[in-house]
Amino acid sequence: MTSPEQSPSELPSGSPNRKYRLLRWVLVIGLLAWLGHGPLIDLLAGHSARRSLAGESLSTEANDLLTRCLEDLPPGPLVDFHAHLAGRGPDSGCWVNPRLLSPLHPRDWVRMRSYLSAAGLGPESPDSAWIEGLAGLARARQRPALHFLLAFDHRYSTQGLRDLEHSEFYVPNEYAHAAAEAYSDVFRCAISVHPYRTDAVQELERWAAQGVRLVKWLPGAQGMDPASPLCDAFYRALVAQDMVLLVHCGEEQAVDAEADQELGNPLRLRRPLEAGVQILVAHCASSGSALDLDVGGAHPPRVDCFDLFLRLMGEKAFEGQLWGEISTVTQVNRYSNALSVLLEREDLHSRLVNGSDWPLPAVNVLYQTRALKSAGFITAEEREILNEIYHHNPLTFDLALKRVVRSPKTGARFAPQIFTCLGPLR
Ligand SMILES: [Zn+2]
């Protein structure tokens, strides 16, 4: 596991020190990429070894910890609402913007390369390697699990025109659906439909007829504004079809433009909520800040997205309709912001669901168990065992870590039902 020279909890996000370190890191990686050292980048980012796939067994201590993690969960499979798919195509229909695959854009290149190889997609692998790799890990888990595979639509303009140049990547609904059918023991399908498409409602209805109920949006990257009246027909169709929207809120790393970043403002969800849409907020909006639109005026203050998410969760009208999804909250870039509050707010646990944000659990650099130990979320002994589990199966690690972490202040843990909860899809 990576050991930071300084615990991230000591560095307020956005501090000049942190920004400088990030810039330095990007420059070094960019230079390596430029020189053609792709494999070195993989080494620096680090990936889980996945020893479970080689049939290796865990130590007694690790097995004991996993037993404790699983024994008090309610019956039923583990549920993961957030597993990405991606691929380079062309046969699969998947597509990645060539910009993200070019070392001329080092930041994008590093990010995409890191995701692809964490998911098991080498430079020559077919796109199916992603699906097979995830299915293998899912089947190697100690308990049956269902992972929702996320399709990903293009970016569209407000005129309903596809904007290929500014799209990040594309995963067809057909592709996610076919994977879920082929591996129905471990996968379910989540489609992605841009609400500005002229055929958006028909596309929703087409998949609803096939039993799909989850729809994924990433507003900052895909360019939809949840607060726009352009989405109203889409919201009516979601409600009519009893479908659920999984929306990324908070800072989106892939987005530079401030206006696009603002699309991840949790308060923009008031419009679909008031239209009756069931919403899962990805990552509980645990990063970034946004304008406090409730204050209004010409210069509304900036508030942490996580606090805006909590504000919405606190509104009586949205109970039973608004849910939080906890993927990535234990990652190094997020835990200091939201983890202890989420653990301590036990009143919200019945409205939380789990997600892995696959393939991020396989990117070593995002998990710093040493920092979690220093901050009091886990013990030194737990850290050792979790590190072993990490290299056995990153999906098992993601679950075990979330089951083990406790509030340094109160000792509160995540409630067991979060990990088997189907939330609004019950
Ligand atoms: Zn995600």
Would you state the CATH architecture of domain 48-425? Answer: Alpha-Beta Barrel (3.20)
CA of 83 to the centre of ligand 1 (A): 7
CA of 357 to the centre of ligand 1 (A): 5
Q: Using a CB cutoff of 5 Å, list residues around ligand 1, an ion.
A: 357
Say what the pLDDT of residue 14 is.
38
Distance of alpha carbon 78 from alpha carbon 421, whole angstroms: 8
CA of 264 to the centre of ligand 1 (A): 13
Tokens of residue 334, six digits: 């997020």
CA of 150 to the centre of ligand 1 (A): 9
Low-confidence ranges of the chain (pLDDT < 50): 1-16, 34-36
Say what the pLDDT of residue 209 is.
98
CA of 216 to the centre of ligand 1 (A): 9
HSE on the CB side for 227, CA within 13 Å? 14
List the one residue out of 287, 411, 423 whose CA is nearest residue 354.
Answer: 423
Say what the pLDDT of residue 113 is.
84
CA of 31 to the centre of ligand 1 (A): 27
CA of 4 to the centre of ligand 1 (A): 24
Global pTM value: 0.89
CA of 77 to the centre of ligand 1 (A): 21
CA of 162 to the centre of ligand 1 (A): 22
Rounded-to-10 torsion of CA 64, 69, 71, 75: -150
CA of 51 to the centre of ligand 1 (A): 25
310-324 tens-digit pLDDT: 999 999 999 999 999
List the one residue out of 164, 174, 17 whose CA is nearest residue 93.
Answer: 174
CA of 299 to the centre of ligand 1 (A): 31
Say what the pLDDT of residue 61 is.
97
Say what the pLDDT of residue 43 is.
57
106-130 tens-digit pLDDT: 888 888 888 888 998 888 899 999 9
Say what the pLDDT of residue 13 is.
36
Say what the pLDDT of residue 2 is.
42
CA of 82 to the centre of ligand 1 (A): 6
Say what the pLDDT of residue 103 is.
84
DSSP assignment string, 25-73? HHHHHHHHHHTT-HHHHHHHH-B---GGGGTPPPPHHHHHHHHHHHHTS
